[in-house]
Amino acid sequence: MKTSRFQIIPLPTEIADAARLAAKAGAADHALITVDSPESSPCRHCLRWAQPGERVVLFPYAAIPSGHPYSETGPIFVHANECQRYRATNEYPADFRNGRVFRAYDSNYNIIDAQVMNDSEPEIVIESLFQNPDTEFVDARSITRGCFTFRVQRA
């Protein structure tokens, strides 16, 4: 399904590359991990599940920058080796059609709404959050672990 009215924003390549360099340099808060089970480690750069045997970098990412009441830094994965940034930004990423919660933020980074996808198509949940004119962006997160997965903006 095409997402006519919104755009998927994967993690910027500069951030993924910086995390890979920091992990190679042995930064204490950047862990190199070999994935051992499927659908455990979503890469925020290519927006795919890392496959068992692939290596990922686990590091803290400030999805909501500091200086706001809802500031939030949390753990995310990227592939340890170079991967292609998700390009189909007008389509909801196929690997994450389940297990996401969507948080709507206003332009001051305040959470103004949140919805679990339940049995709905994710596109429908996202469209409904953008029906509020105050919604500046929507963040997709893991329902179970709460980790940031990707951002969605108006097209």
Q: Say whether residue 83 binds Zn ion (CB under 5 A).
A: yes
Given 20, 79, 100, 141, the residue binding Zn ion (CB under 5 A): 79
**In whole angstroms, how close is the CB of 85 to Zn ion at the nearest point?**
8
Cα gap 36→21, rounded to integer Å:
23
Q: Say whether residue 20 binds Zn ion (CB under 5 A).
A: no
**DSSP β-bridge partners for residue 154:** 6
Region near Zn ion per CB under 5 A, out of 41-49, 62-70, 120-128, 138-146: 41-49
Q: Say whether residue 23 binds Zn ion (CB under 5 A).
A: no
Is residue 59 packed enough to be buried (19+ CB in 10 Å), middle (13-18) or exposed (0-12)?
A: buried
Q: Where are the beta strands (DSSP E) in 26-80?
A: 31-34, 42-43, 48-49, 55-64, 72-79
Given 6, 10, 11, 45, the residue binding Zn ion (CB under 5 A): 45
Q: Which of the residues 85 through 144 are near Zn ion (CB under 5 A)?
A: none
